[in-house]
Structure 1
Amino acid sequence: MMKQSLAIMKRELFYMWHDTSLRFILLIGPLLGLLFFAAIYSHQRIDQIPTAIVDLDQSSASRQVVTELKNTQDLQAAAYLDSYDELKALIQKGQVIVGIVIPAHYGQDVALHRQTQVAVMIDGTNMIYATNASSAVLTVTRTLGAEVGIQTLIAQGIQPIQAKEAYQSINFREEAWFNPTLNYAYFLVLAFALNMWQQYCMLASCMNVIGESGVRSWLQIRSSGLSLFKLFFSKSVVHLIIFMLIVLPVYFIAFKIFKLPLAVSWPVLLLFTFVFAVTLHSLGTFMSSISGNAVNASRFGMIIALPSFVISGFTWPLQAMPQWFQPIAWFFPQTWFFQGFNYLAFKNPGWLFMSHYFLILGVMAVIFYSASAMVIHWQTAARGARA
């Protein structure tokens, strides 16, 4: 039995290695993806957002606002304009993301302690840019508002120290946990690379059954008396070994060279990745068993693999998805993997919390493999009846 299994494994390795396109996709694709996304997010955070300033007041108070904006790392004063129309034209052309209009009589209103309004326009077509720009502008407005409030109290006869203490009596201290610098690279780079990895693995898995039953060698294998279990078990072992060998250099480069955060131990991370690889392979095997040909198998696999990363809730929170859709997302193994991976990489909530992620993925694998076995058995019996 062992000799037959080893012979099948060697045969499968031979076929996979001599399939040039598949070899390139599996071996090079995830690594190129990791390097590609690491280069894109190498700056780690968005700052120096192009900003245009329209100062309609030209007073000392308005120039103070301009100075505060220029001293903000997240904003870059790219243009000083004279009118609202000029600002609108620059935003329409994408030359600036933020536009700030200081109204006429701003300095006078501030001096007389009257309410005044500074207009802030943000290009909302790029949500990442818009969110960061909004946060940067909010920081500046808070600082300016505090300064004006303190000056108002001083004008009313209150001592400067007392005015400052009164206006800042409540201090809200913000502190980001698990990713203190809010680094985009930490959050997205490896996840995007793993998304490519799972897509390629799904593509290979979808050839597991149809790659045999769709060629003439299937008849030779059946006539040899080799059991279906031994055949597909041996093939699956080869696939899973290759899947793990592919992801190992991706993890090594990500955690050892790029120094991405890893809160959990390596054995736990690799075990979780292996369990997901088994589940992914079982799903691909099922898709392969119900497909009439290799083209349809690839199509079915890509239909699941391509949108699964978005559905997983990694880039867009599950809680923000429609209520009726949230349970559907949990039917995908990718949802359990990417959600669990996020916990392991950043938080390490412990085995008691993570155990149900392992369990659900394991149950899914059993279900998909069992369904595949039933389909293959039915198809084999149908062929035998026709013969």
Structure 2
Amino acid sequence: MNFKRVAAIAYKEWREIVRDRLFFSLAFVVPALLMVLFGYGLSLDVENIPFAVVDHDKSAQSREYAYRFIGSRYFRFEGYASNETQAARLIEDGRVRVVLVLPPRFGRDLAAGQPVTMQTLVDGTFPSRAMTTKGYVTAINAAFSLGSIAQAVSQVTGLGRDAVLAQLTPVRLETRYLYNQSVASIWSLAPKLIMVILMLSPPFLTALGVVREKENGSIFNIYASSVSRGEFLLGKLAPYVAISTANILVLWTLATMLYRVPFKGDFGFFLGATLVYVLCTTGIGLLVSVLVRTQVAAMIVTMIVTMIPAVLYSGLIIPIVSLGSGARAMAHLMPAMYYTDIVVGCFLKGVGWAALWRPVAILAAYATVLYTAGYLLFSKRPRT
């Protein structure tokens, strides 16, 4: 291994990256841009749900019921509808997602101790959000019903309303959210976006960089030179690993400064583990580059083998434990899942090597297999 040759090849590759404005943008601008676009555009928080009310009763009790929703941060009041037909049009046009229909005699039946049936119309075109919305409606309705019962019992017995509530709910449930006290989706998404971007960018750049040599014919200079395949591959990949290292710092800064995600772990461990992940994803690009001959093919294959694992089999949106048995097995074959455990552990849980050595070791083994396969498949003899 002649490191002067490696340095010469690395320097040549760096000059080509800097000279090509499009490639330079792909290397340095696109990762940060993706972090900003995905961070603001992808949200799992279900809040500010637009809703309307059809109030057939127009009593003080019906208004109080509606105000429970109007005052909630989970709903955004869009006004009253005169009837169910108008409410259906509001949902059909997408102006509201929920309509509360309060029946006639709502207040009188409540005052008489009679059960009241009300209707809730929920837009089901977004099933997961519709189920979450139903949970919000159920919780607010339960709180109103409990308060109504407590008020009625208080008037009959003379006990205070708080005392009646304490008797009606002998078991109090107090929930404490660990690691993400505000349950903000961006705290979970921003670290995982680092995983996604570092799964997409390094192999994309690596595959294009190597295949470009084949496509423009400059690879024949390497074939005819005394440079070994190990020296060529090491020199070729070194600039992309260095670029990805710089992107790690940029993405970490965006996550902590722009999105205000707390970083509770050891930064040195995080950086080292992320470098192992970058070596792993760069190895994917290397393997793709030795199997295809054109940059178009390299782009298509790289997007397929990186985008799908990064989105579907990493825990980005759906937890791995919620996947089917076949999907879970597939996820365990992908490096994205292991790095997701690392980045979430470093950012939110504050854990380090003692808890995360296993995924780091698996990523290191993964990288070793990829680089070995790439080295063995790359040949200095042109294929006919």
When the two structures are superposed, what TM-score results if normalisation uses the length of structure 1? 0.90
TM-superposed deviation, 1:314: 1.4
Gaps of 5+ in 2: none
TM-superposed deviation, 1:40: 4.3
The answer to whether the aligner puts 1:274 opposite 2:275 as a matched pair is yes
Alpha-carbon distance between aligned partners in 1 of 2:225 and 2:337, rounded to the nearest angstrom: 41
Letter aligned with residue 26 of structure 1: A
* Residue in 1 that maps onto 2:74: 74
* Residue in 2 that maps onto 1:84: 84
- Checking the alignment, whether the CA contact within 8 Å between 1:48 and 1:75 is kept in structure 2 is yes
* Residue in 1 that maps onto 2:167: 166
| Residues 213/39 of structure 1: CA separation in 2 closer, same or farther (3 Å cut) | closer
Letter aligned with residue 367 of structure 1: V
- Checking the alignment, whether the CA contact within 8 Å between 1:75 and 1:133 is kept in structure 2 is no
Moved >6 Å (runs of 4+): none
Q: How many residues align?
A: 381
* Residue in 2 that maps onto 1:111: 111
TM-superposed deviation, 1:333: 1.5
* Residue in 2 that maps onto 1:321: 323
SS in 2 for 1:32: helix
Task: Give me the identity figure in percent.
Answer: 19
Alpha-carbon distance between aligned partners in 2 of 1:50 and 1:382, rounded to the nearest angstrom: 63
Alpha-carbon distance between aligned partners in 2 of 1:2 and 1:177, rounded to the nearest angstrom: 49
* Residue in 2 that maps onto 1:192: 193
SS in 2 for 1:72: coil
TM-superposed deviation, 1:54: 1.0
SS in 2 for 1:344: helix
Q: How does 1:367-378 map to 2 (within 5 A)?
A: 367-377=369-379
TM-superposed deviation, 1:67: 2.5
Cα deviation 1:96-147 (Å, max 9, x = unaligned) = 1111111122222212222222222222323565355334323421320111
- Checking the alignment, whether the CA contact within 8 Å between 1:75 and 1:136 is kept in structure 2 is no
* Residue in 2 that maps onto 1:141: 141
Cα deviation 1:22-63 (Å, max 9, x = unaligned) = 111111112222333444479x95533221011112222212
Alpha-carbon distance between aligned partners in 2 of 1:96 and 1:46, rounded to the nearest angstrom: 14
Say what the alpha-carbon RMSD is for the aligned residues.
2.4
Cα deviation 1:74-112 (Å, max 9, x = unaligned) = 222211122111111101111111111111222222122
- Checking the alignment, whether the CA contact within 8 Å between 2:195 and 2:336 is kept in structure 1 is no
SS in 2 for 1:57: coil
Q: How does 1:277-316 map to 2 (within 5 A)?
A: 277-311=278-312, 312-316=314-318
Moved more, 253-262 or 49-58: 253-262
| Residues 249/111 of structure 1: CA separation in 2 closer, same or farther (3 Å cut) | same
TM-superposed deviation, 1:246: 2.1
Alpha-carbon distance between aligned partners in 2 of 1:2 and 1:324, rounded to the nearest angstrom: 45
Alpha-carbon distance between aligned partners in 2 of 1:263 and 1:127, rounded to the nearest angstrom: 34
- Checking the alignment, whether the CA contact within 8 Å between 2:48 and 2:76 is kept in structure 1 is yes
| Residues 180/283 of structure 1: CA separation in 2 closer, same or farther (3 Å cut) | same
Alpha-carbon distance between aligned partners in 2 of 1:235 and 1:371, rounded to the nearest angstrom: 16
Q: Which has the higher contact order (CA 8 A, sep 6+)?
A: 2
TM-superposed deviation, 1:197: 4.2
